[in-house]
Amino acid sequence: MPIRNVKGLVALVTGAASGLGRGTVERLAKQGMKVVVADLPSSKGAEVASHLGADNAIFTPVNVTSEEDVRKALEETKKAFGKLDVVVNCAGVAIAAKVYNFNKRRCHDLADFNRILSVNAGGTFNVIRLACELFAENKLDDQKQRGVVINTASIAAFDGQMGQAAYGASKGAIVSMTLPLARDLAADGVRVVTIAPGLFQTPLLAMLPDKVRLFMQSTVPNPSRFGDPDEYAAMVQHIIENPYLNGEVIRLDGALRMQP
């Protein structure tokens, strides 16, 4: 069976202090993987890592848009665990703003648009390009593999709602870089797969009023509820395990197609 056992593999997960990233490090550590919790210095990353135990997890303060921060995190990864097998890009930011507000006669802020693009698309690309330096140190395994990259887009890349021009564009960029990256890295045994989540129960959504959350859940055909971060994490685990998944974007959304 070519299905790979994840035990002993080392993963760096960005945005791992919260939500989908946190669910991912929790699941992967439980499967016997070593995890690097890479998140902003101001995040709860240290807490998340210490909860998983010093043998299984370290926290590295990282702004994914910074070359220096990501390099440092990769050095820490090597120092603590000796190698890197998997990168999961979960760090991301969102904004809700229309391109033009005709009542207030106000344009969408350009700096906001660029910031969302920079963190979501630029940050994802930055982490991938630098992580390849550590992948390069891995020997090819018996299936000629040496690394896996998993990105997080959103169904907003396909059916972005009102106010999601910047967020949708940033996630569309992640979708569109998936295949060329998989092609770039194919000959050297690195796979690239992107997950496009629907609505997941994370701190982001937990903050909304009950009424809004109930309505949002009712828009999901089946199962008619928010996704659990562990369902996202289980998809991450499967992508690592299944060597035939590559260059693809997988919707994980209970058949939700968002309305305007």
Ligand X SMILES: NC(=O)c1ccc[n+]([C@@H]2O[C@H](COP(=O)([O-])OP(=O)(O)OC[C@H]3O[C@@H](n4cnc5c(N)ncnc54)[C@H](O)[C@@H]3O)[C@@H](O)[C@H]2O)c1
* Smallest distance from ligand NAG to CB 80, Å: 24
* Smallest distance from ligand NAG to CB 63, Å: 4
In the list ligand NAG, ligand X, none, the entry touching 154 (Cβ below 5 to 8 angstroms by class) is ligand X
Q: Where are the beta strands (DSSP E) in the chain?
A: 10-14, 34-39, 57-61, 86-89, 100-101, 106-107, 147-152, 190-197, 249-252
* DSSP-derived secondary structure for 116-139: HHIIIIIHHHHHHHHHHHHHTTSP
CA quadruple 28, 30, 34, 36: dihedral sign: positive
Interface map 71-110 toward ligand X (x if CB under 6 A)? -------------------xxxxx----------------
Interface map 29-68 toward ligand X (x if CB under 6 A)? ----------xx--x------------------xxxx---
* Smallest distance from ligand X to CB 93, Å: 5
* Smallest distance from ligand X to CB 187, Å: 29
Q: How many CB atoms lie within 10 A of CB 206?
A: 10
Instruction: Please check whether residue 124 is in contact with residue 174, taking contact to mean a CB–CB distance below 8 angstroms.
Output: yes
C-alpha to C-alpha distance for 17 and 39, rounded to whole angstroms: 6
Interface map 46-85 toward ligand NAG (x if CB under 6 A)? -----------------x-xx-------------------
Task: Tell me if residue 232 is catalytic.
Answer: no
C-alpha distances out from residue 65 to 69, 91, 121, 164, 212, Å: 8, 10, 9, 21, 32
Binding positions for ligand X, rule: CB under 6 A: 14-15, 17-21, 39-40, 43, 62-65, 90-94, 119, 123, 152, 154, 197, 199-200, 202-205
Binding positions for ligand NAG, rule: CB under 6 A: 40, 63, 65-66
Active-site amino acid positions: 167
